[in-house]
Amino acid sequence: MSFPKNFLWGGATAANQAEGAWNVDGKGASISDHNRAGSRTSSTRRTFDKVINTDEYYYPSHTGIDMFHRYKEDIALFAEMGFKVYRLSIAWTRIFPNGDETEPNEAGLQFYDELFDELIKHNIEPLVTISHFELPYHLGETYDGFLDKRTIDFYERYAVTLFKRYKDKVKYWLTFNEINFGTLEHGKRINGLFNREYTVEEQYQALHNVFVASSKAVIAGHAINPDFKIGCMLAYITMYPKTCKPEDVLKTQEANDHLNYFCGDVQVKGKYPYFMTRFFKKENIDLKSSSEEMALISEGTVDYYTFSYYMSTCITSDIDERNDKTGGNLFGGVSNEYLETSDWGWQIDPVGLRYTLNQIYSRYEVPLMVVENGLGAFDKVEADGTINDDYRIEYFKKHIEEMSNAIDDGVNLIGYTPWGCIDLISAGTGEMSKRYGFIYVDRDDEGNGSLDRTPKKSFYWYQKVIETNGAEL
Ligand code: BG6
């Protein structure tokens, strides 16, 4: 295996899916706190309630896996696995409960100070996502989120507060989780568009404002500490043409440009790619953007590129074939007869990871990190209390092999943080039963269970992988 000596092995979580304590110590409600639990089989997956009704419904983020109170125990387990890095997000609403305050909430800042100290004590490098589906609800309700340019300033104030406070504790930052979700109709909510129906123009205007916010944060962060490494984060949905029919290939290229390349081009290259002009024209979109904003986008480019990779999908130009659907992260597609699927219908494709790493690296030539990857699966606790998740080990083994191949290809891959290194709430469905972790958490889909932590078989396997720097899989 070809992993460099200082390769950043670790794991990833997000505040709204792990912390709980949703209204503790002055924390405000985020958009995620308004998400009621759903299920794999429900057509809506989750319900977004404008008014939280805890008397009648269960809101999984309110308790998460109670990491807010148990982070020391969790970090000790990460350290036992040998983590070099831990990706977590800061809950914006712990720092600015409504988002538009001028002064931060000291209790929230203190919480992360202590958490970072705990990581540093264990020699684990924090990798912080500044915004991971956790926009303050108030910003959406009052300003239509990022549709209003004032939200750019609120985000900048929040980011600068973090940079100044943690400048000696955190080096690696990501501005927005899966920023390309904002190109999808059902991704509008993460940017705070949930009060009414919005036009496609408004959707892309909000996304443009997110780009500006990200660039301002990158510029401010580098001024505060030139050693900061500030990255972008995209959901990379690898796409193949269903057939070699030229129309399928073209359609795939178009979807890939739009979903995978557009946001990366803006954040890494500092400009809108040429193909967006065609799209904006077709959709009659006229973005409100000044030359100052375009200059910020050009100046505030990221230092490295990170992405989530779970699956791949196929694209077809044939209307009849489109019913042959497969599930997916943010975005499904047409099935691939050569791939198996997870319990949730996501197509498992390790070779696709090598292909993807090469695709991204050849386009941007900046350091890459895979900051989410993993298998959401049902786990069974045996009578003796063990969890023998060989299927998860198999998934990781194959993906790690392909990362090693990509490094051999010449890709500058610097780290790997599998998603949900400890079981947590699913973002898509709100379920606990969709488990990703090396560590089992005793909690069910309705919120029952002791929340006790138990290492799974994969825990010891991953420990060995890290110990041998990927040599023993
Ligand atoms: C990514 C998100 O979309 O995929 C995570 O960044 C999410 O927040 C992960 O949890 C897996 O998706 P899901 O729906 O299985 O939780």
Helix (H, G, I), strand (E, B) or coil at 105: coil
The response to whether residue 180 sits with its C-beta less than 6 Å from ligand 1 reads: no
- 372 catalytic residue (yes or no): yes
| Protein residue with its CA nearest to atom 9 in ligand 1 | 427
Structure tokens at 12: 């990833």
233 phi-psi bin (left φ>0, alpha ψ -120 to 50, beta other): beta
Gyration radius of the chain's alpha carbons: 21
What residues contact 99, with CB distance under 8 A and at least 6 apart? 28, 92, 93, 135, 136, 138, 139, 151, 154, 158
- Check: CB of residue 21 under 8 Å from CB of residue 451: no
Question: Which of 419, 432, 436 is the pocket-test mutation for ligand 1 (most atoms within 8 Å of CB)?
Answer: 419
Residues in the chain: 473
Measured in Å, residue 429 CA sits from the centre of ligand 1 at 9
Catalytic status, residue 446: no
Whether ligand 1 lies within 6 angstroms of the CB of 221 is answered as: no
For residue 87, CA distances in Å to 23, 78, 148 come to 23, 11, 29
pLDDT recorded at residue 387: 98
Proportion of the chain in helix, strand, coil states, percent, rounded to 5: 40, 15, 40
Index of the ligand 1 atom closest to the CA of residue 429: 14
The residue among 56, 80, 88 whose CA lies nearest residue 420 is: 88
The pTM of the full predicted model, rounded to 2 decimals, is 0.97
| Spacing, Cα 427 to ligand 1 middle (Å) | 5
pLDDT tens sequence for the chain (473 residues): 789 999 999 999 999 999 999 999 999 999 999 999 987 776 667 899 999 999 999 999 999 999 999 999 999 999 999 999 999 999 999 999 999 999 999 999 999 999 999 999 999 999 999 999 999 999 999 999 999 999 999 999 999 999 999 999 999 999 999 999 999 998 999 999 999 999 999 999 999 999 999 999 999 999 999 999 999 999 999 999 999 999 999 999 999 999 999 999 999 999 999 999 999 999 999 999 999 999 999 999 999 999 999 999 999 998 776 667 777 666 668 999 999 999 998 999 999 999 999 999 999 999 999 999 999 999 999 999 999 999 999 999 999 999 999 999 999 999 999 999 999 999 999 999 999 999 999 999 999 999 999 999 999 999 999 999 999 99
DSSP state of 269: I
What structural domains and CATH numbers belong to the chain? 8-468 (3.20.20.80)
Confidence (pLDDT) at 348: 97
CA distance 328 to 206: 24
Confidence (pLDDT) at 1: 74
Please give the Cα distance from 142 to 130 (Å, whole number). 21
Both structure tokens of 73 = 């125990």
Please indicate whether residue 14, judged by its CB atom, sits closer than 6 Å to ligand 1.
yes
Question: Which mutation among 45, 232, 329 tests ligand 1's pocket best, with the greatest number of atoms within 8 A of CB?
Answer: 329
pLDDT single digits (tens) 303-340: 999 999 999 999 999 877 666 777 766 666 899 999 99
Residue 308 Cβ < 6 Å to ligand 1: yes
Amino acid, single-letter form, for residue 387: I
Answer whether 427 contacts ligand 1 (Cβ < 6 A).
yes
88 burial via Cβ count (<10 Å: 0-12, 13-18, 19+):
buried
Write the pLDDT tens digit of every residue in 23-72.
Answer: 999 999 999 999 999 877 766 678 999 999 999 999 999 999 999 999 99
3-class DSSP state of 293: helix
